[in-house]
């Protein structure tokens, strides 16, 4: 049997569709790989018994044998982030409150994966309710970095990123509020796209609002990521803010002449953000690799107070979390089942007044308007994806960066908040490794709803740098 799991997702799907390999063979290879590396890395959880997974694969092969046209993901084993509901498969959110929760229906995004032919075999590990960019929880424990298992995988899509990097999965889904797609992708040398809000349907208690959180695709290369996005994206009549009615086939449109395109390098936001030594240099080297292709890179200024962006993002996040968990926090038994950071976040949100929330919303609007002014000068912006390299897996969150104290469990990811608050699409791309072999990434940021432009830049970047070819040893 060839090294099936060394193939790209598109190569694997083509081999299945053309009957050069069966879905059963791919599933057997997947379970062999999981048995070999998952016990050490702990990326995939709530895994189906192999016999059940093989039954799914046989059914996929039978459909092809009967002449049925394959979907875009036909026969591909897939584990869904454990924040998304999966019919018949345990969905825990990494919390003891949902330890035995088995949904009756799929979330809209998972339903699209199944309709495209993906074979859902389990979940990818997350921090409790996705809180924090470090993947550990009391149900499944910590997920370890694919390159340095003694270090964190990042989060909250840590299980997804590690499963990709370690060749357990060819594609993975993620979600992002405070860097939950971008950070673990950076920490594991893979790609993760935070799209514009509304591109991928994501149910919310307020169907009419554009949430700070988004769903998104992850992969080891840009064409695979773009293929998954083509499946995930598109309007849902039950969620009025979703768009477009007919999403494009992103993976078929990646090649473009970017000569003359301008990239504004935001660095450490003019010294506003502490950075571990080596991060800025890796990102700048990655940007320099684009210049022979005719792109123009120059230093840029945010033109807005970074602390105001942080305060608005943190306030709106706490407000939404307080609304979601207000009943839990008032119940002494259930409250004790929430990790301390979650309890703290709820308490922060409960202290906010309506005027506080209105002020944070106004700041969000003003920053979005300033971001549009930046895009009048630049076609893209760039920022590091994290402010420090992967840290020891036993550390719940870093208390300081380069000597600067962090005042909350998420302050160390402040670098991702300008993208989130303005609703901009951003793609994490790998920028290489430090002297200790720890990965890092960079955010390539586009205009609102210009996912295709960001993916095209990401493809050009990967062709110029080749970091995606560096697999774990």
Exposure on the CB side of residue 427, measured as CA atoms within 13 A: 33
- Helix, strand and coil in the chain, % to nearest 5: 40, 15, 45
- The predicted model scores a pTM of 0.98
User: What is the rounded CA–CA span in Å between residue 425 and residue 455?
Assistant: 10
Each residue's pLDDT expressed in tens, for the chain with a length of 473 residues: 468 999 999 999 999 999 999 999 999 999 999 999 999 999 999 999 999 999 999 999 999 999 999 999 999 999 999 999 999 999 999 999 999 999 999 999 999 999 999 999 999 999 999 999 999 999 999 999 999 999 999 999 999 999 999 999 999 999 999 999 999 999 999 999 999 999 999 998 878 887 899 999 999 999 999 999 999 999 999 999 999 988 899 999 999 999 999 999 999 999 999 999 999 999 999 999 999 999 999 999 999 999 999 999 999 999 999 999 999 999 988 999 999 999 999 999 999 999 999 999 999 999 999 999 999 999 999 999 999 999 999 999 999 999 999 999 999 999 999 999 999 999 999 999 999 999 999 999 999 999 999 999 999 999 999 999 999 98
Query: Catalytic residue among 95, 107, 156, 385, which?
Result: 156
Query: Catalytic residue among 22, 81, 123, 196, which?
Result: 81
* Residue 111 backbone phi and psi in degrees, to 5: -60, -40
User: What is the rounded CA–CA span in Å between residue 42 and residue 126?
Assistant: 10
The pLDDT, as a whole number, for residue 2 is 61
Indicate if 156 belongs to the active site. yes
Give 110's contacts (C-beta < 8 A, 6+ positions apart): 80, 84, 85, 86, 87, 120
pLDDT digits (tens, 9 = 90+) for 414-453: 999 999 999 999 999 999 999 999 999 999 999 999 999 9
Taking the alpha carbons at both ends of the chain, their separation in whole angstroms is: 22
Rg from Cα positions in the chain: 21
Indicate if 385 belongs to the active site. no
pLDDT digits (tens, 9 = 90+) for 263-288: 999 999 999 999 999 999 999 999 99
Query: Catalytic residue among 180, 196, 230, 312, which?
Result: 180
The pLDDT, as a whole number, for residue 1 is 46
Indicate if 353 belongs to the active site. no
Among left, alpha and beta (phi > 0; psi -120 to 50; other), residue 129 is: left
The pLDDT, as a whole number, for residue 411 is 98
Cα 167 vs. chain centroid, distance in angstroms? Answer: 17
CA nearest neighbour of 201 among 226, 237, 172: 237
What is the tally of helices (H) and strands (E) in the chain? 14, 15
């Amino acid at each position: 049997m060839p090294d099936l799991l060394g193939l790209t997702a598109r190569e694997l799907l083509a081999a299945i569709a053309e009957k050069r390999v069966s879905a059963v063979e791919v599933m057997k290879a997947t379970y062999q790989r999981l048995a070999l590396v998952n016990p050490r890395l702990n990326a995939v959880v709530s895994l189906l018994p192999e016999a059940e997974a093989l039954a799914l694969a046989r059914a996929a092969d039978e459909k092809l044998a009967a002449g049925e046209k394959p979907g875009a993901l036909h026969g591909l084993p897939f584990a869904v982030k454990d924040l998304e509901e999966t019919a018949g498969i345990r969905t825990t959110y990494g919390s003891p409150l949902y330890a035995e929760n088995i949904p009756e229906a799929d979330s809209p995004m998972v339903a699209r994966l199944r309709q495209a032919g993906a074979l859902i075999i389990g979940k990818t590990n997350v921090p409790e309710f996705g809180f924090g960019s470090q993947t550990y929880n009391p149900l499944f424990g910590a997920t370890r970095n694919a390159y340095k298992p003694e270090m964190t995988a990042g989060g909250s899509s840590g299980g997804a990123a590690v499963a990709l990097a370690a060749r357990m999965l060819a594609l993975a889904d993620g979600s992002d509020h405070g860097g939950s797609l971008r950070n673990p992708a950076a920490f594991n040398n893979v790609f993760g796209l935070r799209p514009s809000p509304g591109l991928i349907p994501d149910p919310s208690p307020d169907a009419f609002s554009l949430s700070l959180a988004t769903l998104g695709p992850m992969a080891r290369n840009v064409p695979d990521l773009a293929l998954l996005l083509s499946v995930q994206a598109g309007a849902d009549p039950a969620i009025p803010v979703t768009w477009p009615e007919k999403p494009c086939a992103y993976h078929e449109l990646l090649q473009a002449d970017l000569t003359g395109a301008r990239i504004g390098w935001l660095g450490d936001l003019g010294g506003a953000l502490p950075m571990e030594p080596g991060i800025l240099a890796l990102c700048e080297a990655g940007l320099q690799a684009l210049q022979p292709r005719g792109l123009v890179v120059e230093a840029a200024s945010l033109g807005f107070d970074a602390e105001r962006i942080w305060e608005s993002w943190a306030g709106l996040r706490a407000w939404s979390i307080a609304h979601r968990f207000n009943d839990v926090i008032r119940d002494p038994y259930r409250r004790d089942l929430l990790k301390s950071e979650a309890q703290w976040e709820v308490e922060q949100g409960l202290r906010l007044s309506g005027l506080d929330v209105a002020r944070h919303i106004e700041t969000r609007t003003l920053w979005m308007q300033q971001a549009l002014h930046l895009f009048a000068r630049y076609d893209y912006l760039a920022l590091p994806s994290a402010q420090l390299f992967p840290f020891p897996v036993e550390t719940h969150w870093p208390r300081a960066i380069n000597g600067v104290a962090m005042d909350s469990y998420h302050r160390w990811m402040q670098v991702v908040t300008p993208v989130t608050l303005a609703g901009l699409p951003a793609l994490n791309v790998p920028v290489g490794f430090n002297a200790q072999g720890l990965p890092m990434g960079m955010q390539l940021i586009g205009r609102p709803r210009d996912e295709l432009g960001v993916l095209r830049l990401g493809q050009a970047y990967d062709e110029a740098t080749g970091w995606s070819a560096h697999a774990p040893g």
